[in-house]
Amino acid sequence: MTERIEVERTIAAEPAAIFGVLTDPGGHVAIDSSGMLMSAGGERVGAVGDTFVVHMDREALNDYPLGLYDVTVRIVTFDPDREIAWTPEGQLNLGHVYGYKLEPIKEGTRVTSYYDWSSVEQTWKDASIFPVIPEGALRATLGILARTVAPGRPRPSA
């Protein structure tokens, strides 16, 4: 079984516009497709080690009755307009990582969203809680990101 999910999408926007959303705590809430991210607080991140807080609601996934709780998002990769990744920390520091790679292309930006739990301790892997977020949610988040950074792009006619 894989311990990493990657999905990609071409988004008609410059990498800097996309990176701007991904470095803003509120941007994470705005593009979340899981329904778990309720709000966020903190400053825009600008380096590895920076953090912000996200107020979560696990009931959105209907898997574990954790209710409302907070996580601290700690940036573990920061390459401006190219890549950002983070790990959620809180009551449980499992070591899974979420991130985005941005590649400028003629049509805008090829965005790769990834979720990696390969560094998680085996006991947590054996508990069958990974992946927390399925591939479909990563794809849906990319769709929300596309509409967030390129709201004026042409839509197909009905």
List the one residue out of 136, 132, 135, 23 whose CA is nearest residue 79: 23
Q: Residues 55, 39: contact at Cβ < 8 Å?
A: yes
Q: Residue 25, preceding bond cis, omega within 30 degrees?
A: no
Domains and CATH numbers, the chain: 4-149 (3.30.530.20)
User: How far apart are alpha carbons 57 and 35 in whole angstroms?
Assistant: 8
Note down pLDDT in tens along the chain; length 158 residues. Answer: 689 999 999 999 999 999 999 999 999 999 999 888 889 999 999 999 999 999 988 766 656 666 788 999 999 999 999 999 999 998 777 889 999 999 999 999 999 999 999 998 888 888 888 888 889 999 999 999 999 998 665 544 44
Q: Kindly tell me the sign of the dihedral angle through the C-alpha atoms of 88, 102, 30, 125.
A: negative
**Rounded to an integer, what distance in angstroms lies between the CA atom of residue 66 and that of residue 15?**
35
**Model pLDDT, residue 158:** 46
Note the pLDDT of residue 11: 96
Calculate the dihedral angle through the C-alpha atoms of 8, 14, 19, 24, rounding to the nearest 10 degrees. Answer: -120
Whole-number pLDDT of residue 108: 94
pLDDT of res. 60: 64
